Chain A
Amino acid sequence: MVMITGGAYQGKIAYVMRNLGVAESNITDGSVCDLKELKNARCIRNYHELVKRIGEDCIDFTKELCRDNPDCIIIIDEIGCGIIPLEKCERVWRENVGRCGCIIASASETVVRVVCGVPSVIKDVTS
C-alpha cells in the first residue's frame, strides 16, 4: 500500500500520475464513488471525504480496505492542523480522519507527503 498526503491542492494527484504511472481514469474519487468499487481500486483520492461519508464505521472500514486491497494507492489530505471545530460532527470527522490516516500509514510500505508539488518520502520500508 502507498499513502500520499499533504494539504489540499499540493500536487498529490499529479505526483501519483507522474511518479507512480497511474492514469487519471484509474483514480477513484472517494467523495462520490460507489463504495463497492473501493476493494478493487488501483488508487483512491479524497479519502478524507470518504471518511465523512462512511461515518462511525470508518475505522473498521479502513482496516478492512487495508487488508483486502493491500496494493492500493490512497490519497488523503492533511486536515488536522487547525483549530478544533465548534460543530461536534466536524470535530468527530477531523478526529476520524486522523485515526484512519494512522491506520493507512501503518499499513503502507511508503508514505509520501507533497507540499507545493514537492514530494518528501516520510516512510519507506521497501528497501
Chain B
Amino acid sequence: MTTLITGGSKCGKSSFAEMILEHFQGRKIYIATMQPFGDDAFEAIERHRKMRAGKGFETIEQYTDIHEISLDKDCAVLLECVGNLCANEMFAGGAIYCPNDKIVSGIKSLSESVSELVIVTNQVGSDGISYSDGTDDYISAMGDINRRIAEFSDNVIECVYGVPVLLKGEIPC
C-alpha cells in the first residue's frame, strides 16, 4: 500500500503519516531527506526526532538519489519529504536541473519493493507569488512530481490544519 500525504506548512502531515504506520508489525524505516544546514533545519530535525522517539523507526538519511535505497519486502517506510528531496536534487550542484523523472522512478521502485510506503510531500504552489526562475522551476517540478506520485499511490490525503481530507483511495487508519 502506498499513501501520499500532502499539505501546507506545519499542518500535521508528519503526525498523520506516523499514525498510519503506528500498528505496523515489523521493521519501520524513516527516510529523512532534510539536510542539517542552518538553524531552521536543526530545529526541524530535532523536533521530528522527538516526535518519532519511541515509535520504533530506524532512520536512514538520504538527501538525494532515493533510487539507491534498497530495502526488504516486509518493511514499512515513511519518506519525509519530497519537498526537501526535490530541492536537494535541484540546487545541490552549480547548475539547476530537472530531477522529476529520477525522483518519481526512485519513489515508484521503493513503493513496489516494500510492504507499506507513506510519502510526505508539500503543497508549494498556492501563494500566488511569482518568483525568480530557480524557484519557479522548483514549484513546477513539485507540481509535476506530486501528480505523478499520486497516480501510482493507492491513497492520497491532504492535511488541512491536522484534518485529513481524502483525495484518492481511502484513509488507512
- What is A's interface to B at a CB cutoff of 8 Å? 3, 5, 7, 76, 78-84, 88, 91, 94-99, 101-102, 104-106, 111, 113, 120, 122-123
Distance (whole angstroms) from the CB of A83 to the closest CB of chain B: 6
Identify which of B7, B127, B163 contacts A123 (C-beta below 8 A). Answer: B163
- Interface size class of chain B, counting residues whose CB lies under 8 Å from the partner chain: 20 to 34
Distance (whole angstroms) from the CB of A70 to the closest CB of chain B: 17
Identify which of B8, B127, B135 contacts A98 (C-beta below 8 A). Answer: B8
Distance (whole angstroms) from the CB of B16 to the closest CB of chain A: 10
- What is B's interface to A at a CB cutoff of 8 Å? 7-12, 40, 122-129, 131, 135, 138-139, 160-163, 165
Which chain A positions have C-beta within 8 A of B126?
7, 81-82
Q: Name A's interface SS.
A: mixed
Total A-B contacts with CB atoms under 8 angstroms apart: 80
A7-B126, A91-B40 in contact; A80/B11 too (CB < 8 A)? yes
Docked Cα-Cα span, A7 to B160, in Å, equals 11
Which chain B positions have C-beta within 8 A of A82?
8, 124-129
In the complex, the answer to whether A102 meets B162 with C-beta atoms within 8 Å is: yes
Docked Cα-Cα span, A124 to B7, in Å, equals 20
